[in-house]
Structure 1
């Protein structure tokens, strides 16, 4: 009646492994479903991790679910802080933190967090492009070295307090290394999705608005800080090249950012002035400087540069928006279709006044079937030739069928015929698949998921997992009723094979021996089920007599 039984009791779990639960793969991690579709696959991955790679952290663990969001906010904070620190450095090698005691404490704190994070990254696995999870410590270290993250994190986290009394130019180089933290912008982009999932931000509009304003803020902040930092560096270098008094007299009043008076103002004033000027240049929302510059011959270069920047900026902004809208539309097209379908579905359920439990089951079915990306499978496959359809079916089901014992010795010709006649089914938790005592005309093969098998009296006998099959008894014996009830425990995807195609495959000269072995196996299972049911009845009678 059934095969593929395997179930671990809680007492069988290694106590050491139980302590590592938060560091191994977790069923609650929202990214797990993208790589493993059933509890069995997750359990196998957990066993592989704990037995072979106990000193690494699984990227789909409960820890990494929260750690990804932590890294997102940490990297954003570090980039903002490091660029600010670069811009407002007091260029004094003997006292690099003069008038910046608060920045000193904050900088040291985040430098320590960055170094600790860098070390921790060397023990966290990663997902490959082929959806395999790499947990080897050597490969994780090699990947971090090749990506450059280790070097950028290390050199950008050197505290400036360690640079006291170094040579001025050496100090410039080490201080500028703080900008290596910009390498983590790619990490921020990668961590947006898991962060939104943890914070339960699902609306595409909200996601787009948050991401847009975050990166616009970071862009303008970086441009502001780099602008101020370069001006300060230029001021210090030129003051070293010339006599300080003479140089200060020469540059006083020339240009906003070369003005000594401006550089001696508070950090807030300098930042705000540079901020609004960069907003004007980046967003092209004001061109008053072009008009004012035309009134002075001294600012002729600024006038020409502003006009060129204005024209190039307008063209650049148009191109960027066109590209962004195209990429956004292409990337979210399938997801937008899914959201539209779900909106219509919710309106339909509301109009029909479905109960909450039924609504939840319907939504679960849609989310599992389409994985939040809607596509019309019928229309897509209807355009294909019959040959291509069969090739697709063979590709999708061949590995599954070959794992099942009763099909392992079937010829390739009959195997292709079976695969082409499999009907996919999806069952939700609690769905009744087959009922004991009823006649059946098909068997089922589990691709992913878990089902529970009950005896006719209602006793739970076992669980069936991936690559298991059940229901073949009703196909082998005439007028034989189902000997057990099978109910889905989790969302399960399986294939249905009807009696006609089953007989066509096995009731022939080529597969006659296989057919007879299947019958013997089914008879033995029926006998075991009958004995188990009889023992249960006897135990029940004895209990009633004792009562």
Structure 2
């Protein structure tokens, strides 16, 4: 677009432009150095398109933003977005949009696939794939359907977790605990009114399920065809959801139906929602992923929900035999529930809280294997119910125990493997008859190196890219970078390249790191600890601590011989830079090479001075009269 200074352009809002994602330009102003474009909305696929008025011909596309912005500043050539800011034009220059149109657009965005969904990148491997699926939903099919990886689906399913669980708890509580005094009466209770609200929410959930796409496996295409979505839901869960969501019991009670058998079946129908427990748990796992990616937290919350729901349902199941008799025959049988100690009183005369506490207590007793022996059971059907509860409690105990063992080994696997390694080391030292002092040094080395957590560093880093490995190295050696004056002012690229060649080593107290006179094939950087430097004559020159380095003098000398010995004073962790890497990276960098050369010459000078001072002090002793007489 060839635009002169002060040129203005205007486009009017149209359905064609909105439906096909073209940006609507209003009062665009162009100057010599920059271009400001003020507009009302962005493209639905997250791109900004600059178009001409005639035919809406697209001239440029920009991918730098994904939401509505008001002012774009381009470079002089107009091919790159420089900045995004608020609108600098007066409000009168912008078209007025109805609030309901803005609301509809925001709701429509909630129905599209979102990169903020915690599982979206488990299915789509990249952001362009997310954008492509969003375009497919808008332009090809499923325009009004809900994407399974949309924010609306995430929020709605999270709310339905609470609604479905509460629905199951209240339905079972209404059936087994809330009983009218004999004779059986048709009366609407407070629980029925509350359940009516949950039934309504579940009916809306059925409508939402009929409008939500699905995917079979990760990597497969998301099915957004309305007919396929509806047919799949009808074949699978539509009947169960519909039967458990219809407020039939409320209708019968409202119509004052006297046949209690119909009321019993109506109260049992909402319990079909229990069949959807695995779907509820899957939605719970997805919701928890928003807050944490820890497998332990996800599994723990999942098993906690199962345990609490099981406790409630089993406490209700304890009363199912007399409750069925109550609704079916209109009387409360005797001989049941001996743990209540009713003393010829009716079940309805005992407060609900007491009955519920007793039922929960019996379940926990079954969970710990003591329920059947706690009270006498006389009726065959009650024996069967109690046996089922004990069997379920035993199976769940095994299931929960396996999970806890898995969590334990997941959490403490590295510690367990470390102790296994130390057992092998101790057996090896016992077999080779190590002296106690050497055993202590070996154990100290392993404790310092692993910190009681066994891991294979090379195996953990092999799968990472080179850039990510460099970042890990930079983060590992950040103390070294901060304390080493050698790296001050150097670019991050140079520092990262040098640190990527370092190899960690650990020395115990009194370990000889380098020996004077040996051929030098590397230099060292001290990460943690203290070393002492000695000259050729054995004179202590200095102590080096965190961030210091040594061994570079031999790499700069022609004969490559060490001019000093270095001994560890305490447990010291150093990073080793081999001679080949030193010549390739350090010698080729002029600034770094000059710093090392200056420092090496200073150390050489100090070492020579100390050696000469030591000679001058020891020479008079050698030339004393006592030595002469002896000779």
- Structure 1: how far apart are the matches of 2:200 and 2:160? 14
Matched, 1:183 2:275: yes
Tell me, yes or no, if structure 1 residue 64 matches structure 2 residue 103: no
SS at match of 2:319: helix
Q: CA deviation at 1:216?
A: 0.5
| Structure 1 residue 172 corresponds to structure 2 residue 255 | no
- Alpha-carbon separation, structure 2, partners of 1:10 and 1:179: 54
The answer to whether 1:192 aligns with 2:297 is no
1:205 corresponds to: 296
2:198 aligns with one of 94, 101, 110: 110
Confirm or deny that 1:223 pairs with 2:314: yes
The separation in 2 between residues aligned to 1:180 and 1:300, in whole angstroms, is 27
Among residues 18, 34, 37, which one is paired with 2:122 in the alignment? 34
Distance 2:198 2:347 in 1: 29
Q: Take 2:456 and 2:130, find their aligned partners in 1: how far apart are those partners?
A: 27
The 3-state SS of whatever aligns with 2:125 is coil
Report SS of the residue matched to 1:90: coil
Distance 1:303 1:32 in 2: 49
Matches for 1:309-458 after TM superposition, within 5 Å: 316=395, 319-321=398-400, 323-324=402-403, 349=475, 352-353=478-479
Aligned to 1:124: 212
Q: Judging changes above 3 Å, is the alpha-carbon distance between structure 1 residues 119 and 309 closer, same or farther for their aligned structure 2 residues?
A: closer
Structure 2 CA distance, aligned partners of 1:120 and 1:48?
A: 20
Q: TM-score, normalised on structure 1?
A: 0.51
The normalised TM-score by structure 2 is 0.45
**Correspondence for 1:290 among 373, 389, 401:** 373
Q: Is the 8 A contact 1:97 1:161 kept in 2?
A: no
Distance 1:173-1:105 versus aligned 2 partners, 3 A rule: closer
C-alpha distance 72-50 of structure 1, shift in aligned 2 (>3 A): same
Deviations 1:209-260, CA, capped at 9 Å, x for gaps? 32222111001101112322442122343445xxxxxx87x65996649864
SS in 1 for 2:145: coil
Cα deviation, 1:56-87, whole Å, max 9, x if unaligned, reads: 11111121222221222222222212221222
Query: Could you report, residue by residue, the CA deviation over 1:503-524 in whole angstroms, capped at 9, with x for unpaired residues?
Result: xxxxxxxxxxxxxxxxxxxxxx
Which residue among 356, 361, 366 is the counterpart of 1:271? 356
Q: Rg bigger for which structure?
A: 2
Structure 1: how far apart are the matches of 2:473 and 2:173?
50
User: Quick check: which one's helix share is greater?
Assistant: 1
> Is residue 72–residue 195 contact of structure 1 (8 Å, CA) maintained in 2?
no
Task: Quote the offset at 1:182 in angstroms.
Answer: 0.7
Task: Report the counterpart of residue 142 of structure 1 in structure 2.
Answer: 231
- Equivalent position SS for 2:163: helix
Pair 1:300–1:233, CA change in 2 (3 A): closer
The separation in 2 between residues aligned to 1:28 and 1:112, in whole angstroms, is 29
Match of 1:390 in 2: none
Going from structure 1 to structure 2, the CA distance change for 1:210 and 1:185 (only over 3 Å counts) comes to same
| TM-superposed deviation, 1:90 | 3.0
Once the two structures are TM-superposed, the CA of residue 131 in structure 1 deviates from its matched residue by 2.5
Distance 2:337 2:352 in 1: 19
Question: Unaligned regions of 5+ residues in structure 2, if any?
Answer: 1-44, 52-66, 69-100, 416-454, 462-468, 483-631
The 1:194/1:215 distance shift into structure 2, 3 A limit, reads same
Residues 322 and 131 of structure 1: CA distance in aligned 2, closer, same or farther (over 3 Å): farther
Q: State which of 88, 111, 116 in structure 1 corresponds to 2:177.
A: 88
1:412 equivalent in structure 2: none
1:292 is displaced (CA, Å) by: 6.3
**Deviates further, 161-170 or 9-18:** 9-18
Cα-to-partner distance string for 1:405-438 (whole Å, 9 max, x where unaligned): xxxxxxxxxxxxxxxxxxxxxxxxxxxxxxxxxx
CA RMSD of aligned residues (A): 4.7
Residue in 2 that maps onto 1:48:
136
- 8 Å contact from structure 1 (residues 220, 282) kept in 2: no
- CA displacement at 1:161 relative to structure 2: 2.1
SS in 1 for 2:318: helix
Q: Between Structure 1 and Structure 2, how many residues are aligned?
A: 333
**Alpha-carbon distance in structure 1 between the residues aligned to 2:123 and 2:337:** 63
Match of residue 250, structure 2, among 161, 165, 172? 161
Q: How far has the Cα of 1:185 moved from its partner? A: 0.2
Contact (CA 8 Å) 2:322, 2:336: kept in 1 or not?
no
* Cα separation, 1, equivalents of 2:131 and 2:474: 38
1:251–1:282 distance in 2 versus 1, CA, 3 Å = same
2:346 aligned with 1:261: yes
The question of whether the paired residues in 2 share the 8 Å contact of 1:31 and 1:60 is answered with yes
| Counterpart-to-counterpart distance in 1, 2:49 and 2:412 | 44
Please tell me whether the aligned partners of residues 321 and 382 of structure 2 are also in contact (alpha carbons under 8 angstroms): no
The superposition leaves residues 17-67 of structure 1 with CA deviations (integer Å, 9 ceiling, x where unpaired) of 776211111122221111222232222111110122112111111212222
Task: Report Cα offsets for 1:249-283 as digits up to 9, x if no partner.
Answer: x6599664986434321211111111111221134
CA contact (8 A) 1:58 1:64 kept: yes
Against the structure 1 CA distance between its residues 179 and 122, is the aligned structure 2 distance closer, same or farther, given a 3 Å change threshold? Answer: same
Q: Where does structure 1 lack aligned partners over 5 or more consecutive residues? A: 1-5, 241-246, 356-547
Q: Distance in 1 between matches of 2:116 and 2:283?
A: 18
Stretch moving more, 8-17 or 57-66: 8-17
